[in-house]
Amino acid sequence: MWVLFAIILMTFLITSLIMIFSSILSKKTSLDREKMSPFECGFDPKTSARLPFSLRFFLIAVIFLIFDVEITLLLPLASTNPFTNIMSWSFLGLLFLLILLFGLYYEWKEGALEWSY
């Protein structure tokens, strides 16, 4: 028990130290307007270099990522079939699929899957 606690504590300390060192070393010392603007042959930019990003595309990408991760969590279920009870295996698989379908239905009803307004 104490060994597990010591491993968790060491992991937390190492990751905290890495995060603190990286934030200290990555600080930019000068926040000059010219240095922060995009480089365009030494002249001031004619238009904004920051192009607008489609929020609808971002939402579709996030929804795809969520469902993709859930499908990868569902794939190992097939390999556990010989090692478990068939009723518990079926119940767990159906429950997971129902959660996926409920999430898809919710996103569909919210209108997040429609590309045009």
| pTM for the structure as a whole | 0.47
pLDDT tens digits, residue range 48-107? Answer: 666 777 777 887 888 888 888 888 888 888 888 888 888 988 898 899 889 888 988 988
Place of tokens 């990522």: 65
Residue 13 half-sphere exposure toward CB, CA atoms < 13 A: 6
Task: Please check the confidence at residue 112 and state whether its pLDDT lies above 60.
Answer: yes
Q: Tokens in use for 38?
A: 């995009």
Distance CA 93, CA 85 (A): 12
Place of tokens 């795809």: 64
Q: Is the dihedral of CA 53, 55, 61, 65 positive or negative?
A: positive
